[in-house]
Amino acid sequence: MIHLIAKGPRPGEKIEWHIPESQKMLLGRSADNDCAIPWDSTISRMHAEFQRNEDQLNIRCFPSVLNQIKFDEQFHSELTISVGDSFQIGETQFQSIERSSNSGVLEILDDLDTDSGILTEASLRITDLRIETVSKAVPSLWLCKDEGNLAKQAALLLKDVMPHADVVAVIQSDGPKKWNVAHWEQPVPGFRRVTIIRSLVRDTIRKGETAIEVESSRKGTPLANGRWAFCTPVKTEGNQKWCLYICGRFGEDSPSQAYLSTNDLQDDLNLVELLAHMLSAIRRVRKLEDRFSGIEQFFSPAIIKVVSEENAKHSLEPTETETAVLFCDLRRFSHMTEQAGKNLQQFLDRLKNALGVMTQSISSQNGVIADFQGDSALGFWGWPLPLTKGALPACLAALRIQQMFKISNSTHFNELSGFEVGIGITRGNAIAGKIGTREQAKVGVFGPVVNLASRLEGMTKQLGVPILIDEATASDVRNLLPESEGRCRHLGLFRPPGLEAPLSVYELLPTEGKSSISNQNIKDFEAAVDAFIDGDWDSSLDLLGHLPPKDRARDFLLLQIASHNYKAPFNWDGVVTLKK
């Protein structure tokens, strides 16, 4: 089996993963990755992807990352390594190794020829350095993505700290008479028949206490040579119980002394019970996380905290409140679907990644995901947490979405390449909360402000710009958002189809260093827009001539002027009427 080991610069920063054949895996700082490196701040939240092909690993960094792969004193954005090779990303060393699977035979016996005793008390006395080893392994245990991997990592840890045992195992049970071995390891390599004693497991599961057996004669006298075993419960709520089973030999040709007694195993018991306490805490937290896994797709951690409090039912009720709404849509979705042809599943995976960029950006700003409509996402702010910074969180989420897709389109090898987005943002009163019937409800937002955000997103295609915002949002940007985070410019007055009142529309722009539009360009463009509205189209044309040739908003305005033979129409009101 091929494994990947990651080791940080500080004690305890070590984790190991099994790498299956042909499966694409993600590596990064976030716990959402298959291989998470939480200790290294120089590694991006989603840093690289890799795939195993027989005994080789192909590793590729995402285009947006700063630290590339260091191998043989050179840096690579993509690299193929073989078993035994080492490489470095940031401060973390990685090595690909091959581990052999267990070669022994695990046998289940009814009982040993002795009476079992229950240890009702066992202190956690720190007696050797193995306690420190267990404690340092906690981060890697927390990062296990499922119960199966957690059981495996726990067994591997027991294998390291119990080198004198014949077998270490994690047992899972749905009841005293229904249990199975989740994962087991042999600390000492080599073929050997090892046993698990049913009565020991049964006593542990039934009584919830550590059970121990040391083989003795039928008269109860100690033996020079024999076997020992103990089983420790991992206490958690629910039907599925875990326990840790360790067994070995004593006397001749064994690591343990002759005439072993239960007292001689006290240090081992302390160690295993410490690990059991840690596993218990991890499994309890996992159960809580599972309860909220459904709403985590829609809520950020800050909002989950609010809706999980005692008054959650009240906080979910629909409320009229000031909200900021973001509507984001993928461009050319239908065309890309047709182009996918027979590779629809591959295209669906790419679509999921694209929608994931939207949802992660919204959630990172404590927004709520209200709806998906195939190729679009609707997010909002103002419920259940009130707006404290106006529409700024929505603007920051939109700028991040735009930046992520822009970076991805800089290369053809990125899964997001080819996708473009249009975004509309508005601020105003709406009804937000649990909307629907008693039988079927969802968290959503309802009101004219939502329709307006959708209209603005649709206008991005006509005006040729990625992000449009309304006047209220533009006021928040100009008064509250530092230029080091974002800017906006007035594009003009527009009358979309179906609306009688004109809209004052603005474009949200990234910082000057991340845009081809300078601050002076913004001043010139807005002066051109004012002249356009006033009917002074000659001045408007002169000002538009100072703008970059790739400015799409400039092109739109020039086209409007040209379509009227460069003269404002009679009774010109300064409003551009848009067609469907």
Distance CA 209, CA 442 (A): 45
pLDDT of residue 409: 66
Percent helix, strand and coil across the chain, each to the nearest 5: 35, 30, 35
Distance CA 190, CA 248 (A): 14
Which DSSP state fits 276?
H
Distance CA 27, CA 46 (A): 6
At residue 378, what are phi and psi to the nearest 5 degrees?
-120, 120
Strand (E) or helix (H) holding 454? helix 448-463
Which CATH fold would you assign to the domain 295-577?
Alpha-Beta Plaits (3.30.70)
pLDDT of residue 460: 94
294 burial class (0-12, 13-18, 19+ CB within 10 angstroms)?
exposed
Look at the alpha carbons of 300, 467, 376, 60 in this order and tell me if their dihedral is positive or negative. negative
**Residues forming a β-bridge with 25:** 50
Distance CA 207, CA 176 (A): 10
Q: Which two tokens stand for residue 106?
A: 């695990």
CA angle 438, 440, 441 (to 5 degrees): 85
Which CATH fold would you assign to the domain 105-290?
Beta-Lactamase (3.30.450)
Distance CA 555, CA 544 (A): 9
What is the residue whose two structure tokens read 């039988």? 439
Domain ranges in the chain are 2-98, 105-290, 295-577
DSSP of 334-381: HHHHHHHTT-HHHHHHHHHHHHHHHHHHHHHTT-EEEEE-SSEEEEEE
Q: Which two tokens stand for residue 540?
A: 């408007």
- Which class is domain 2-98? mainly beta
pLDDT of residue 470: 97
Q: Which two tokens stand for residue 128?
A: 């050797």
Distance CA 213, CA 230 (A): 6
What is the residue whose two structure tokens read 């970059």? 548
On whether the CB atoms of residues 106 and 192 are closer than 8 A, the answer is no
Distance CA 202, CA 208 (A): 10
DSSP three-state, residue 102: coil
Considering the entire predicted model, what is its pTM? 0.53
pLDDT of residue 411: 61
Q: Which two tokens stand for residue 206?
A: 């039934």
Q: Which parts of the chain have pLDDT scores under 50?
A: 103, 113-127, 310-311
Which DSSP state fits 295?
G
115 burial class (0-12, 13-18, 19+ CB within 10 angstroms)?
exposed
Q: Each residue of 184-194: pLDDT tens digit?
A: 888 866 656 66
Distance CA 367, CA 49 (A): 28
